[in-house]
Amino acid sequence: MKIRWLPKIVLLTFLAMPGVVYGEGGQQCQPRTVVFFGNGVWNDVEDASESRRKLENRLNTHISGTNLDGIITYELAYNPSNGYLEDLLETFEQDLQTNYSLFWNYLAEWDIMPDFLQDKILAIAKEVDAAVVSANPSVQEHIALYNTYLSEGKMIVLVAHSQGNLYGNIAYLGIDPQYIDGFGMVSVANPDSYVAGGGPYTTINEDFIINSILSALPPNLDNFFGPLNWGDIWGGHNFIKSYMAPGHKAEAKILNDVVSMVNELIPSNTEAVEIVHTYNIFEVVCGNPGTTFITIPQDAYITEIRTYHWCDEGQPAGTHALYNCNSFLMYGPFPGTTDFRSWVSHPNTYVPAGSYEVIDSEPSTWSHTYGGGFVIIKGILCY
């Protein structure tokens, strides 16, 4: 269904109506994570808090029993709503700050706008002046809060809905560069054309609001069956009713995106050390090395696994996994990337001390010296 006909000014004015790897206990070395919910416009603090609580309840259920259980806390990155006009001004300040003249072009598209909307927009437009380009204090407060948590070694995931994405994209620019690897965004119903930091996004086909914004990221999920009633046009955009509807694809994708983002982030004030090193590049043998056993001497938060594949002729990287020989638990598989002839994965997960078998998805090209495959493991030791 073609619905990309409404001017961006109308749509952004009405945005956001209210509405794994398993481990064991003792994860004292695993970095703490703060998940923020960033609300859209026309949400008072009660509405935004309800969405945050919904996200908290669903995510806690989703990660129960996994390596993330018990390490996540939740907060609200509140984007204040003081009225319809204030929301409109904030939207233009954020989305058009680099090309403010577009504001007037949007107002000129009267031929495709219903009369009642023309009257509403014209009334609001009379109130708009150069003040819309002034700095937004809410964004500055968010940046200061994010940097404070990041400086304490915590990691942050911002789940941004609707206009909250615009706040998040700007806030990302203010994150201290030394902490940026610990900050990530998970985008929901994004009216913007990108997600800061390249994070994942979810926009459902039934979200008429976002799908009518020409510059917005395209929809990537069909969440419901059958057509929606245009009389309930806002329903498809609502965070709780649509994007977190129990048992539907959007909820599952958003929760999985948050888990993936947490596992990809790197805290700022903890340093990974080399725990295992069996490389010997001066005596390389090609072919299956057989079973590769290693010992992790103390509980650790594993940040990197590297295996040497000199003989693979540059094929794409596979996966790594760690099998605990004592508890019989499997950690992984973790997808890898290629670094010259090494395969590198970033598990970012807690494992207890013990004996492990390192499992490489392509042992036939795993280099060795008859004593097991070459492997380097790095992580943060627990004390």
pLDDT digits (tens, 9 = 90+) for 28-82: 577 889 999 999 766 788 999 999 999 999 999 999 988 788 899 999 999 875 5
Tokens representing 71 are 């390490």
Residue 119: band (very low, low, confident or very high) from pLDDT cuts 50, 70, 90: low
- pLDDT for 350-381, tens place per residue? 899 999 999 999 999 999 987 789 999 999 88
| Residue-wise DSSP of 294-321 | EEE-S-EEEEEEEEE-GGGTTPPP-EEE
pLDDT for 85: 42
φ and ψ at residue 235, rounded to 5 degrees: -60, -40
- Confirm if 149 and 73 have CB atoms less than 8 A apart: no
Q: What one-character DSSP code corresponds to residue 125?
A: H
Our measurement of the distance from residue 163's CA atom to the centroid of its chain's CA atoms, rounded to an integer in Å, reads 16
Please tell me the class of the 8-264 domain.
Answer: alpha beta
The more confident residue out of 120 and 197 is: 197
Average pLDDT over residues 154-173: 91
- Smallest CA-to-CA distance from 166 within 145, 136, 141, 144 is with 136
Omega within 30 of 0 (cis) for the link into 333: yes
CA geometry: angle 187, 188, 189, nearest 5 deg: 125
| Complete DSSP assignment for 51-76 | HHHHHHHHHHHHHTTSTTTT-EEEEE
DSSP-assigned states of every residue in 323-349:
EETTT--EEEEEEEEEETTEEEE---E
pTM exceeds cut of 0.75: no
pLDDT at 367 (0 to 100):
92
334 Cβ contact list (under 8 Å, min separation 6): 305, 319, 320, 321, 345, 346, 347
User: What CATH code would you report for 273-381?
Assistant: 2.60.120
Per-residue pLDDT tens digits for 164-206: 888 888 889 889 999 999 999 999 999 888 999 999 999 999 8
Angle, CA 29 vertex, CA 300 and CA 297 arms, to 5°: 25
Residues of the chain with CATH 3.40.50: 8-264
Dist. CA 146–CA 137, nearest whole Å: 14
pLDDT band at 93 (very low <50, low <70, confident <90, very high): low
